[in-house]
Structure 1
């Protein structure tokens, strides 16, 4: 099939849709990507990209058409809103001009913002092709949960926008089973909603590192609790740092943070303020392809989200990465993410926003025999292969393309 993928974020930005595009090409689909100029997460255009540079590319069998936008910057919420709206505005105008020819389906990969659905609707109408919206973030719930919008009136307006976008979709794919009810509550018939979980890139595999591996050399001495991924408002770094503070006397336990994001500077400042410089180590951002080796250097992986009902619906994508690499997991979150970690036998879940419970869980895992931690990791890998494999995801996506096309 000729598949048009509409997504504000794409390679060289690190998002799961990159790997999905490659999987669709490998399955025989003709894939075109409509996306923005890469600027996530630092808020600046990547080197070699701009309003008039690298707007058309080919990579790994698919075509990339880039739409101008205003970068995220680092100035705060207003600049972020402008970034969101600029992509939606320019894509609605330019995508029909830049994307010639017919498409069999339009697949919209909807992280934040939901406004990415607007140009997807435009392309659906211009190309007379069915639209599948793959919901990764629930709006307006995630806006309320992160504190990005507190006004009830503003949240009500966003909810109306979401209902409008959903009404034009032929199918709505959701990354978590817990999304089913909130999406249906937006006046979407249940038969239009399909559970479509995320996978992890093929390079996420269990590894055994050599003693002289560079990733091991970067680790501090001791029992390594590692967080890998975005450091934002949703990830509840306040609780993670408070747990590290409670474990101050457990001198062998060290926290290693890989990644960056809008809340990084605030997290670093709190670590310094509490005198936890040797306890919590920030290593910065590394290429995604290096993550399996870093994960192999850790003793247990950590995933956390703020204590808000909206976050109990979601499955953080790092959960699939951790499972795929056969690493034991501590999950400081509720709902679907916690269920998967415990159901898989890969680790333990504790209530979100409770540093004392997180500290207890970390000591519990540290005190387990190595063989038990390895068993937990093996359980996670088996669960991943059964429930989240890339091959099965591409098969399910193709099935839904066919279903939408027949309608």
Structure 2
């Protein structure tokens, strides 16, 4: 089976789709990728690439077709709009030319925002007489209004019509969260909708559990938060809980990563004199399994938001793979997965007191209870999020998909 993946983002940019492609390759699929010139996240083309070029390259057994892509630059609205529109146009025009004479069995769209990147895939699927599958990562138009990008009701209605058209031109829609199923079905017409979660990273499936942790942990109860330190992570809740836990001398909160709120975190820790919070910075992905497996517990937090509640944070898969108890300060699907797995405890999003109580509760739990949570976490990961397991499921879904045209 020859599969063409259409994604604005791909290696050497760090996105999950790269490992999904590699996993499908390992399952015996011939993989091709139609993508743009890499420039995420800094907004400038990577070394060796130029935004106006067209070309074909090989990487790790995958054929990559690159089309011109206007760089996202500083991420302001106009540049982002040009970035998105340039991919739609160039993938349609240059993609058709690059793929001339190449038979394609299936087209697979990695449906990050904006979902409009599926438009060139619709044309290519018709041109190649191939079935089309889109893996929806964000809900549209809901994510536009939730993020504050669009408030005009008429414009949101217009976007909704366009999204309906895109969905109905597909032969199968996959959604990364069970909470996405109903809203997508409501717009999809007779296009089938199936749940296909985001997999964990190879680094967590193949990690060496005996690898040395690059962080020094104390002998107390060490709670690790790993990942982006941004606006949706509800860092105010974590800092507030840390302040309530100052008298608990054996509890330390370790926030591994960086982001737009790193400086705010540093200033708040200093202002509140939070001796129980550490900010060690970022580490390579290869180091994260040993850091997580050395923690006493792992923490995930998000703000309270209707759309965010419907997603499963990507760090949940990594936490489950680490085989450690999880503290969830969030609502919705992410908390449901952790509780369903029996892998930890949850408090409501933005509940400072509830998070502090949850950390104390785990700290006071018997060792055998914590070990059982960790074992449940790893077992749930293997049965639901292990990347090779999910690649086999995805291959079967692609093979079973037939074009409606």
Both proteins in one fold, TM over 0.5: yes
Native 8 Å contact 1:232 1:263 kept in 2: yes
- After TM superposition, what 4+ stretches of structure 1 lie above 6 angstroms from structure 2? none
Shift of the 391–267 alpha-carbon distance from structure 1 to 2, 3 Å rule, reads same
Instruction: Map Cα deviations across residues 23-77 of structure 1 (whole Å, 9 max, x no partner).
Output: 1111111101112222333334333333267943212211112233233333544
How far did residue 225 of structure 1 move?
2.1
Partner of 1:237: 235
Contact persistence 1:41–1:261 (CA under 8 A)? no
Cα offset, 1:228, TM superposition: 2.0
Name the counterpart of 1:3.
3
User: In the alignment, which residue of structure 1 is the partner of 2:385?
Assistant: 388
What are the superposed Cα offsets for residues 131-168 of structure 1, whole Å, 9 maximum, x if unpaired?
10001111222233333333333333332221121121
1:287 is aligned to 2:288? no
* Between 68-77 and 163-172, the greater mean CA deviation after superposition: 68-77
- Taking the TM superposition and a 5 Å limit, the aligned residue runs for 1:242-253 are 242-253=240-251
> Could you say which residue in structure 2 is the equivalent of 1:215?
214
Match of 2:179 in 1: 178
Q: Kindly tell me: are residues 289 and 275 of structure 1, through their superposed partners in 2, closer, same or farther at Cα, counting changes over 3 Å? A: same
Tell whether the 8 Å contact from 2:199 to 2:386 is kept in structure 1 after alignment.
yes
Change over 3 Å in CA distance of 1:237–1:85 after alignment to 2: farther
Rounded Cα–Cα distance in structure 2 between residues aligned with 1:353 and 1:233:
12
Structure 1 residue 404 corresponds to structure 2 residue 401: yes
- Which secondary structure does the structure 2 equivalent of 1:257 belong to? strand
Is the Cα–Cα contact under 8 Å of residues 48 and 54 in structure 1 kept in the other structure? no
Aligned counterparts of 1:371 and 1:44: Cα–Cα separation in 2: 50
Paired residues of 1:42 and 1:261 also in contact (CA < 8 A): no
1:115 lines up with 2:116 in the alignment:
yes
1:20 matched residue in structure 2: 20
Q: Counterparts in 2 of 1:3-402, with a 5 A limit?
A: 3-51=3-51, 55-100=55-100, 101-189=102-190, 192-205=192-205, 208-209=209-210, 213-217=212-216, 219=217, 222-276=220-274, 278-402=275-399
Say whether the 8 Å CA contact 1:230–1:259 is kept in structure 2. yes
Where does the alignment leave 5 or more consecutive residues of structure 1 unmatched?
A: none
TM (norm. structure 2) is 0.90
Q: Give the whole-Å Cα distance in 2 for the aligned partners of 1:105 and 1:388.
A: 23
| 1:320-364 alpha-carbon deviations (Å, 9 max, x no partner) | 111122121111222221111011111112111222211211122
C-alpha distance in 1, partners of 2:25/2:224? 34
Q: How many residues align?
A: 402
Q: 1:355 to 1:82 in 2, by over 3 A?
A: farther
Q: C-alpha separation between the residues in 2 aligned to 1:67 and 1:193?
A: 30
SS at match of 1:405: coil
In structure 1, C-alpha distance between the alignment counterparts of 2:183 and 2:73, rounded to whole Å? 31
CA distance in 1, matches of 2:244, 2:379: 34
Matched-pair contact (CA < 8 Å) for 2:209–2:289: no
**Residues 1:46 and 1:301: Cα distance change in structure 2 (over 3 Å):** farther
